[in-house]
Structure 1
Amino acid sequence: MRKLKTALILAGGDSTRFWPLEEKPFFTFLGKPLILYQIEEVSQYTETVVVVANKNNAVAIKRLIGKHHVIIQKDSLPGQAGAILSVKNFLNGEVLIINANDILDYSIISQLISQTKTHKLILVGKKKNEYFPGGYLRFSNKNKVIEVVEKPKKNKLPSSIVKLVLDYFSDIDDLITAIKSVETKQDDLYELAINHLLATNIDCQYLSYDNYWQTLKYPWQVLTMMKGFLTRVKGLQIAKTASISKNALIIPPVFIGDNVKIGDYVKIVGPCYIGEDSVIGDYSLIRESQIGKDCLIGSFSEIARSYIGNGVFLHRNYVGDSVIFDEVMMGAGAVTANLRFDESPIRDTNLSKLGVMIGSQTRIGVNTTILPGIKIGKKCLVGPNETVRYDLEDKVFLVKGEERNNLNL
């Protein structure tokens, strides 16, 4: 099978909605950044991979991906349409546009390639039973795509088909011309450009996708993506340099990395991933979670269905359905609540269970309780015996119920 000429991965977003977490393309699952999974998969189907980055992440992306091309999105050209215009002088001919925040079964591209001889535009969609805050496809009576509707209201969905960012253009100049032909004050210029092309009766093919798909837009979606990646852990994989107590109980599938130490009477229930150089203290319980590298999970801690970043320090804590980013420390007895008493969805999600989302280098004091769905920014300090009832911005000091600017960080 032939390869497509160019894959264009859009990684220039500022990750604002991802706060308090940072840089979605670098978010690590099973020890590897998300963008590397994408490039490895997409490279099987395309001759060239081009990544559109922003000025803050371009150098780091270039170091990660090596031989592939990285182009910086111009500040004056925001959004997906701006990313396309930023690279217009570097692209020609057929291009497959991909969202850097998505993970899916990229073998769908082989099916897409088979349709390229007869179609100039190919759009891919997936049926979703629950509402998704993104683009939806509208179809004609003949099941032809006639419009992309960006973020419709829940009671005004044009269909149940969510548009994935896996868009094929036989000639990228068609899209560039369309972008320059439309105007909007909203963040939907890219979608309007596609609608402009659809209105010209361009030969468009719709391709239905029914396999797994996870995306990172909001911080709680890390948990859904983690769950998907954990299905890739098979059997019991234990590094030769790992040290495991004979009294520990490990129920596969579980991956245990180099130099990991697991203490007495630890119970690990898979699927789980434990990164290199981490220590799991005596009597701890870990279920369906990812633990990063260089972590210390102190004795008597329980971690359930949670993402733990690198260099995290826990001590006799309960962490449930939570995302704790790099170098966070939780004092003894601090816990995360993850369920409302009325069992209603937490925040603007479909989740009945959701704990805390904590940015990097934050410290949580002993015996602190964090209520469901709370977001705590990076480099915060939360004093002992606090109850965190609302979100905390970056670099905040919360003590005795009073919020202060932590000017020393």
Structure 2
Amino acid sequence: MSNRYAVILAAGQGTRMKSKLYKVLHPVCGKPMVQHVVDQVSVLGFDEIVTIVGFGADVVQEQLGEQVEYAVQEQQLGTGHAVMQAEAVLGEKKGTTVVLCGDTPLLTAKTIQDLLTHHEQESAKATVLTAHAEDPSGYGRIVRNQEGLVERIVEHKDATVEEKEIKEINTGTYCFDNEFLFNTLKKVGNDNAQGEYYLPDVIEILKKAGETIAAYQTSSFEETLGVNDRVALSQAEAIMKRRINEKWMRNGVTLIDPEQTYISVEASIGQDTVIYPGTSLIGKTEIGSDCIIGPQTEIKQSKIGNGTVIRQSVVYDSEVGSQVSIGPFAHIRPNSEIGDDVRIGNFVEVKKSTLGKGSKASHLSYIGDADIGENVNFSCGAVTVNYDGKNKFLTKIEDGAFIGCNANLIAPVTIGKHALVAAGSTITDNVPGEALSIARARQTNKEGYVK
């Protein structure tokens, strides 16, 4: 594919969002809206992608990085004015330019490709992506002549009563002959209700000049949804969530209740995994095959191995091996590595720690800043005491050690291989391998004391 370009309009402030966050950076299923658009466009291999930025330009550039080139719209004077800002990059090029809005996160690469194909087959100078809307309020209307050809596009604010009855709407996505686009934009005026330079006016000018104008009507109106407020954002989220969930179910994942399951667009799941209701997979989370996840489980930016079970628990920024059992009510905090065949039981918290293969912490324990070997037993109520009020310290427990109930391991400390720490002990010194360490006061009974 050559001589194809894309312009993404992302300069609007989005005042209707009523948010400190720049509009196109509001996420849909975990990814900013404008990133959805850029990702779909990038699939098609355009020669250049130019994003028009204005308000919040720096944060948009921070999000998109070097995936695109940028042009700045200093004043918000309409969509036509916004596209003109790309002239320095694209103005002298021959080919086809697609113009898209940065707040249309549901638009797919397939629809963009279909629009391009139709535009080129019709040898058109401009092609409009349209859709049928049962409620076209707020959208520009496609006005066709008696032959069914596109005559012009009229904005909702400028439409007559009759024109407002038209249900074929302008989605805000276009294809243009690039040279004709920039030459015609210079002829666009701002004699309208908003006093702005409308990109759709290019269509009318080209039509009056006798050029061919085409329209490609997509069968999916919801795909063209533009997000201008929180209500539309929630609608886009629901549509995207359904799309993602259907994809995974068709790829061999069981979702017991898809309506109550949230899966990030960046997440991946292996076959024959079962996801129970109330589960959220956030960010670039990877779930292996044959897992059972949920109910009521949150996993963020983590990698989970095959055959692992995680119930009613939270896992953040960590790696969990295969055949692991976690929960219920466990909390795996960032920078933890849980090895294969490990058991993390109810009300256990793990933070920035490594647990080797086959180790167990079955209930009511805190493991923080610890390096735990293989086949270690961490009994009920045992704690690594890692913080002195100023600094964190490491606890090291070597293979095969047994930590008794309600033991406190005061870091920094090392428990040797196959050592045993007696229940109720507070350990402040290293324990040699195969030793039994008891650190508690001897029991004394005062008979008759109560009397």
Q: Where on the TM-score scale, by shorter chain, does this alignment land: which range?
A: 0.5 to 0.7
Q: How many matched pairs?
A: 263
* Structure with greater contact order relative to length (CA < 8 Å, sep ≥ 6): 1
Task: Please list the CA deviations of residues 176-222 of structure 1 after superposition, one character each: whole Å capped at 9, or x if unmatched.
Answer: 43443433252353222322122222111111101232221122111
Q: Is 2:170 the counterpart of 1:135?
A: no
Task: Please list the CA deviations of residues 54-92 of structure 1 after superposition, one character each: whole Å capped at 9, or x if unmatched.
Answer: 1x4222222222223343433246221121222212113
| Separation in structure 2 between the aligned mates of residue 29 and residue 10 of structure 1, nearest angstrom | 18
Deviation at 1:143, TM superposition (A): 1.0
Deviation at 1:160, TM superposition (A): 0.9
Deviation at 1:173, TM superposition (A): 4.1
| Separation in structure 2 between the aligned mates of residue 76 and residue 257 of structure 1, nearest angstrom | 36
Superposition RMSD in Å: 3.6
Deviation at 1:274, TM superposition (A): 7.0
**1:189-208 counterparts in 2 under 5 A?**
189-208=198-217
For residues 60 and 176 of structure 1, do their structure 2 counterparts lie closer, same or farther at Cα, with a shift above 3 Å needed?
farther
Q: Which stretches in structure 1 are left out of the alignment for 5+ residues?
A: 240-248, 261-265, 278-284, 286-292, 295-409
- Counterpart amino acid of 1:27? H
**Which residue of the partner structure matches residue 215 of structure 1?**
226
**1:2-401 counterparts in 2 under 5 A?**
2=1, 5-20=4-19, 22-45=21-44, 46-54=46-54, 56-76=55-75, 78-91=77-90, 92-93=93-94, 94-102=96-104, 103-115=106-118, 116=120, 118-151=123-156, 152=159, 156-157=163-164, 159-185=166-192, 186=194, 187=196, 189-211=198-220, 212-213=222-223, 214-231=225-242, 232-233=244-245, 234=248, 235-236=254-255, 251-252=276-277, 254-257=279-282
What SS class does the counterpart of residue 206 from structure 1 fall into? strand
Higher alpha-carbon deviation: 170-179 or 56-65: 170-179
- Counterpart amino acid of 2:53? A
For residues 132 and 90 of structure 1, do their structure 2 counterparts lie closer, same or farther at Cα, with a shift above 3 Å needed?
same
Residue pair 2:181, 2:202 contacting (<8 A) in 1 also: no
For residues 166 and 189 of structure 1, do their structure 2 counterparts lie closer, same or farther at Cα, with a shift above 3 Å needed?
closer
Task: Please list the CA deviations of residues 312-351 of structure 1 after superposition, one character each: whole Å capped at 9, or x if unmatched.
Answer: xxxxxxxxxxxxxxxxxxxxxxxxxxxxxxxxxxxxxxxx
**TM-score, structure 2 length as denominator?**
0.51
Deviation at 1:238, TM superposition (A): 10
- Counterpart amino acid of 2:113? S
Deviation at 1:155, TM superposition (A): 6.1
For residues 178 and 275 of structure 1, do their structure 2 counterparts lie closer, same or farther at Cα, with a shift above 3 Å needed?
same
Deviation at 1:251, TM superposition (A): 4.0
What SS class does the counterpart of residue 124 from structure 1 fall into? strand
| Separation in structure 2 between the aligned mates of residue 133 and residue 3 of structure 1, nearest angstrom | 36
Residue pair 1:77, 1:86 contacting (<8 A) in 2 also: no
Deviation at 1:3, TM superposition (A): 5.1
Deviation at 1:114, TM superposition (A): 2.4
- Counterpart amino acid of 2:217? S
Deviation at 1:106, TM superposition (A): 2.7
Higher helix fraction (1 or 2): 2
- Counterpart amino acid of 1:97? V
Larger radius of gyration: 2
Alignment identity in percent? 15
For residues 226 and 203 of structure 1, do their structure 2 counterparts lie closer, same or farther at Cα, with a shift above 3 Å needed?
same
| Separation in structure 2 between the aligned mates of residue 6 and residue 258 of structure 1, nearest angstrom | 30
- Counterpart amino acid of 1:123? V
What SS class does the counterpart of residue 51 from structure 1 fall into? strand
What SS class does the counterpart of residue 89 from structure 1 fall into? helix
